[in-house]
């Protein structure tokens, strides 16, 4: 494999699930002789998908990595997941690539995750090319998909290849750049043929369009072309490369991965036209003084890079995958973690090939390598030579959309669940973990139900921890609506010292969100100063369990305005009990009500689903606050009770065909409507019994 950054191509395969990304990777590996069989996703024998959770679902859950040689270059592939549940991995791993191959299923067309992957590519200023796959399948349509891409993509698709034949008759490709045609036998071997006579007109028209499109990337070239000058192949190729690198356009290639049609042309195109780490240029970073600097892909500069993925292995420990931005590394050495301000040592540099880890002798700018057992380093950390400390910006995981409470099947496993989940979270930063002190639940949040279920399976397989997933309890609150004044009196006489505490407390509601306030209004020493904090403590401790359904009581003021004491029998404990009795009595008399958490929800959706979504939000007792537009999409801002939106992720997906996205966060508490509150209180009492 190459130790020269000019001969390296880091390519991310991205698309919606089912477009054939893993099949493309497998076809490339088989064609180049790296593997001795053409792996098939349906048969569960691919290099890229090997985790049991992936084999069960016949879909990638985590990005796969492999490298192979082609025309004296090294192509390093990142095969990313296409399922919305695992798309954070796609977003984070794409940062390590220099170009993206956007796969399109020629039958099913462009779907939402493909559009989202293009958004990531735009954010990273990443050059893209398109591969229309599965052209040998029934109802496959090359032209329709190119038209759809032209409408949907923010980057202009330009055709550089045309398919020969349709559906089952698809057996070859016309290369418009070289003006050559190739047909393929059953083993994927190409033979040069004449361009079919019935395609001559189409080929000439598309060649003309291609020249015009490519000339657009170079003003001087465009001028010469318009004046009718001849443009050489070398100039044409250079302008094509410039246009791809500047994201002026995305070239469109075609083929079939499962039939190995066009794989050789795809690899050659990547080598000849997609950027190397050197072509990609300098990366922006921050130096030790927090100033923006540019880090060039220079092998002789100090080492700098970033960790974009972690693999947690219960036996081998933590494996950190990183991209070298500048400098070089040997097979072992020391690095500095800028993010964690710590020094790290590694004993073995590795390349990842499917599930295998192979020793690497060194790494140059652009290399994607791994090291095991770094003590502090996790995903997103910047690593470098400690003589030149720089940190790279790193993308945020996608927001978590659905939460479950994890309950251990074995009662004493709570800590083991928490520790094991912590290790899985290192591998998957899109998981959020929380120990809710109030509901006593371990909450796990992720991108969807499938995401959480796959995490649960991984938990059992890797750490032998079995859990049940439940819908989380809603953290309701209670408050009061009426002002009351009550007496709390605790009097107990027995042999020796008795107990006596007597207080009068006025309790009244406060505005929502104000919490609790205690006012000492005692005059004339009716209660000695030393006992007053005990009354407050009694009220605070009792308010933890309200009188309606045992939820914390909030947003009220307690004013202590009178009472009496006994010189011998009064004590702090007696007044604490008196305060507690006063709260319980007052809370019953002061019209207690139930409060529920209200979430601030932002839904992003294509225009055509607006009506359905707004109707659905209203049906969930939601309030639509307003709408904005964002590019081709509409953004709906709403407030919705938490109880109504816990399972929103699958519902939104089915309403919008997977094209809607949402984010939510806690906003405030509001009173639960009367009849609904009665049902909730009744259900909680039954559960407690």
Count of Cβ atoms closer than 10 Å to residue 666 Cβ: 11
Report the candidate in 517, 452, 497 with the shortest Cα–Cα distance to residue 650: 452
Q: Per-residue confidence at 495, pLDDT binned at 50, 70, 90?
A: low
Decide if 402-459 and 595-688 have a common fold.
Answer: yes
Q: Tell me, what's the pLDDT at 55?
A: 76
Name residue, tokens 């953004």.
635
**Residue entry with tokens 């075609």:** 254
Average pLDDT over residues 29-40: 86
**Spatial separation of the C-alpha atoms in residues 456 and 473, rounded to whole Å:** 19
Fold (CATH) for 5-276:
Rossmann fold (3.40.50)
For tokens 């139900």, name the residue. Answer: 449
pTM, two decimals, is: 0.84
The confidence band for 1, taking pLDDT boundaries of 50, 70 and 90, is very low
The two most distant CA atoms of the chain are separated, in Å, by 117
Between the alpha carbon of residue 46 and those of residues 37, 313, 622, the distances in Å are 9, 20, 46
Return the bridge partners of 507, or none. 484, 558
Residue 162 has pLDDT above 50, yes or no: yes
Provide the 10 A C-beta neighbour count for residue 468: 11
Q: Which of 258-267, 294-303, 466-475 bottoms out in mean pLDDT, i.e. has the lowest?
A: 466-475
Query: What strands, in cross-sheet order, belong to the sheet with 161-164?
Result: 161-164, 172-175, 180-184, 190-193
Instruction: Give the count of beta carbons closer than 10 Å to the beta carbon of residue 17.
Output: 21
662 band by pLDDT with thresholds 50, 70 and 90: confident
How far is residue 104's CA from residue 144's CA, in Å, rounded to a whole number? 11
- Out of 3.50.50.60, 3.30.70.240, 3.40.50.300, 1.10.287.110, select the CATH number for domain 595-688: 3.30.70.240
Higher pLDDT: 58 or 678? It is 678
- CB-neighbour burial class of residue 228 (10 A; exposed 0-12, middle 13-18, buried 19+): exposed
pLDDT band at 412 (very low <50, low <70, confident <90, very high): low
Q: Domain 478-590: give its CATH code.
A: 3.30.230.10
| Mean pLDDT (whole number) for 305-312 | 93
DSSP assignments along 178-228, one per residue: TTEEEEE-TT--EEEEPPPGGGHHHHHHHHHHHHHHHHTT-HHHHHHHHTT
Q: Which of 355, 310, 271 is nearest to 35 (CA)?
A: 355
Burial 541-576 (b: 16+ CB within 10 A, else e): ebbeebbbbebbbbbbbbbbebbebeeebbbeebbb
Neighbours of 94 (CB within 10 A): 22
List, in sequence order, the alpha helices (H) in 383-531: 414-427, 449-463
Residue 665, pLDDT score: 86
* pLDDT tens digits, one per residue of 425-445: 888 999 999 888 777 888 899
Q: Give the whole-angstrom CA distance, residue 332 versus residue 343.
A: 14
- The whole-number pLDDT of residue 63 equals 92
Residue 397 DSSP code: P
Q: Compare 144 and 113 and report the one with higher pLDDT.
A: 144
* Each residue's pLDDT tens digit, 349-390: 999 988 888 999 999 999 999 999 899 999 999 999 989 999
Q: pLDDT tens-digit profile of 169-221?
A: 999 999 999 999 999 998 889 999 999 999 999 999 999 899 889 888 888 88
Work out the burial of residue 157: count CB atoms within 10 Å of its CB; fewer than 13 is exposed, 13-18 middle, 19 or more buried: buried
pLDDT of residue 465: 85
Whether residue 314 is predicted with pLDDT greater than 70 in this model: the reply is no
Sorted by sequence, the CB contacts under 8 Å of residue 309 that are 6+ apart come out as 63, 89, 92, 93, 96, 320, 321, 379
What pLDDT was estimated at residue 6?
92
Model pLDDT, residue 411:
65
Q: How many angstroms separate the CA atoms of 666 and 21, rounded?
A: 38
CATH number of 283-391: 2.40.30.10
- The Cα angle at residue 46 between residues 40 and 52, in degrees rounded to 5: 110
Confidence of residue 496 (pLDDT cuts 50, 70, 90): low
The domain locations on the chain are 5-276, 283-391, 402-459, 478-590, 595-688
Element (H, E) at 446: strand 441-446
Which residues have CB under 8 Å from 417's CB, separation 6+? 406, 408, 442, 459, 465, 467
The contacts of residue 216 (CB under 8 Å, 6+ apart) are 222, 243, 248, 249
φ/ψ (deg, to 5) at 628: -135, 165
Residue 450 pLDDT > 90: no
Confidence at 4, pLDDT banded by 50, 70, 90 = confident
The contacts of residue 354 (CB under 8 Å, 6+ apart) are: 47, 48, 50, 64, 65, 66
Distance of CA 355 to the CA centre of its chain: 23
Q: Residue 685's pLDDT is what? A: 84
Q: What is the pLDDT of residues 249-277, one digit of tens each?
A: 999 999 999 999 999 999 999 999 999 99
Q: Which CATH superfamily is domain 402-459 in?
A: Elongation Factor G (Translational Gtpase), domain 3 (3.30.70.870)
Own/partner contacts of 615-621, CB < 8 Å, gap of 24 or more, are 616/651, 616/655, 620/644, 620/645, 620/648, 621/673
Task: For residues 232-242, give the mean pLDDT.
Answer: 86
Task: Please determine, for residue 595, whether its predicted confidence score (pLDDT) is greater than 70.
Answer: yes
For 479, half-sphere exposure in the C-beta direction (CA atoms, 13 angstrom radius) is 22
The span from the CA of 566 to the CA of 502, in Å, is: 9
Q: What share of the chain is helix, strand, coil (3-state, %, to 5)?
A: 30, 35, 35
Contact 556/480 with Cβ under 8 angstroms? yes
* DSSP label at residue 529: G
Instruction: Calculate the average pLDDT of the chain.
Output: 90
Query: CA–CA separation, 498 vs 574, rounded Å?
Result: 9
Whether residue 75 contacts residue 273, with contact meaning beta carbons closer than 8 Å, is answered with no
Give me the mean pLDDT over the 76-95 stretch.
93
Q: 414-427 vs 449-463: helix axis angle to the nearest 10?
A: 110
What are the start-end ranges of the H helices in 274-346?
A: 277-280
Cβ distance 551 to 512 under 8 Å?
A: no
Q: In what order do the strands lie in the sheet with 283-287?
A: 292-295, 283-287, 390-391
Please give the average per-residue pLDDT across 233-243, as a whole number. 87
The pLDDT score that the predictor gives to residue 301 is 94
What is the rounded average pLDDT of the residues 507-532?
A: 92
Query: Taking 80 as the threshold, does the pLDDT of residue 688 lie above it?
Result: no
């Amino acid at each position: 494999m190459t130790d020269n950054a000019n001969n390296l191509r880091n390519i991310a395969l991205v698309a919606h699930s089912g477009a054939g990304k893993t099949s493309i990777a497998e076809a490339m590996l088989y064609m180049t002789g790296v593997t001795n069989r053409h792996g098939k996703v349906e048969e569960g024998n691919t290099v890229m998908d090997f985790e049991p959770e992936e084999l069960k679902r016949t879909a990638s859950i985590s990005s796969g990595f492999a490298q192979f040689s082609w025309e004296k270059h090294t192509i390093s592939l990142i095969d990313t997941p296409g399922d919305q549940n695992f798309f954070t991995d796609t977003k984070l791993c794409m940062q390590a690539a220099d170009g993206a191959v956007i796969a399109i299923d020629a039958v099913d067309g462009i779907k939402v995750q493909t559009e989202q992957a293009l958004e990531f590519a735009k954010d990273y200023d990443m050059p893209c090319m398109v591969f229309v796959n599965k052209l040998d399948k029934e109802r496959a349509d090359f032209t329709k998909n190119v038209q759809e891409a032209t409408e949907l993509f923010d980057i202009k698709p330009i055709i550089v290849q045309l398919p020969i034949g349709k559906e089952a008759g698809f057996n070859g490709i016309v290369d418009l750049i070289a003006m050559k045609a190739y047909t393929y036998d059953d083993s994927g071997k190409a033979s040069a043929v004449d361009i079919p006579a019935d395609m001559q007109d189409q080929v000439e028209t598309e060649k003309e369009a291609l020249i015009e499109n490519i000339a657009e990337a170079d003003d001087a070239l465009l001028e010469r072309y318009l004046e009718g000058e001849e443009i050489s192949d070398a100039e044409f190729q250079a302008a094509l490369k410039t246009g791809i690198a500047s994201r002026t356009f995305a070239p469109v290639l075609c083929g079939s991965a499962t039939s190995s049609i066009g794989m050789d042309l795809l690899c050659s195109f990547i080598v000849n036209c997609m950027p190397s780490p050197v072509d990609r240029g300098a990366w922006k970073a921050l130096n030790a003084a927090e100033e923006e600097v540019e880090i060039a892909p220079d092998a002789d500069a100090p080492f700098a890079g970033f960790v974009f993925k972690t693999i947690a292995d219960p036996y081998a420990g933590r494996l950190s995958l990183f991209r070298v931005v500048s400098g070089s590394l040997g097979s072992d050495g020391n690095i500095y973690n800028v993010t964690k301000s710590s020094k790290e040592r590694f004993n073995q540099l590795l390349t990842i090939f499917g599930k295998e880890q192979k020793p690497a002798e060194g790494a140059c700018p652009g290399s994607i390598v791994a090291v095991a057992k770094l003590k502090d380093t996790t995903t997103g950390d910047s690593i470098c030579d400690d003589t030149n400390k720089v940190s790279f910006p790193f993308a945020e995981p996608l927001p978590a959309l659905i939460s479950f409470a994890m309950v251990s099947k074995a009662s004493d496993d709570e800590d083991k669940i928490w520790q094991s989940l912590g290790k899985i979270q290192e591998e998957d930063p899109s998981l959020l973990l929380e120990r809710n002190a109030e509901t006593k639940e371990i909450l796990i949040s992720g991108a969807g139900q499938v995401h959480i279920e796959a995490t649960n399976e991984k938990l059992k397989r890797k750490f032998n921890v079995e859990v049940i997933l439940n819908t989380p309890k809603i953290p309701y609150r209670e408050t009061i609506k009426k002002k009351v004044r009550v007496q709390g009196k605790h009097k107990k006489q027995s042999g020796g010292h008795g107990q006596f505490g007597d207080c009068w407390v006025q309790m009244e509601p406060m505005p929502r969100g104000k919490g609790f306030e205690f006012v000492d209004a005692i005059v004339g020493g009716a209660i000695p100063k030393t006992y007053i904090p005990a009354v407050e403590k009694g009220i605070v401790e009792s308010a933890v369990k309200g009188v309606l359904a045992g939820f914390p009581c909030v947003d009220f003021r307690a004013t202590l305005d009178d009472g009496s004491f006994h010189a011998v029998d009064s004590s702090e404990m007696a007044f604490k009990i008196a305060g507690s009795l006063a709260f319980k009595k007052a809370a019953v008399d002061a019209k207690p009500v139930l409060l529920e958490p209200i979430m601030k929800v932002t839904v992003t959706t294509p225009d055509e689903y607006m009506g359905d979504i707004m109707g659905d939000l209203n049906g969930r007792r939601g309030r639509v606050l307003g709408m904005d537009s964002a590019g081709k999409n509409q953004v709906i801002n709403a407030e919705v009770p938490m109880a109504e939106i816990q399972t929103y992720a699958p519902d939104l997906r089915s309403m919008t065909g997977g094209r809607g996205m949402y984010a939510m966060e806690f906003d405030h508490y509001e009173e639960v409507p009367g009849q609904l509150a009665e049902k909730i209180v009744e259900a909680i009492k039954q559960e407690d019994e």
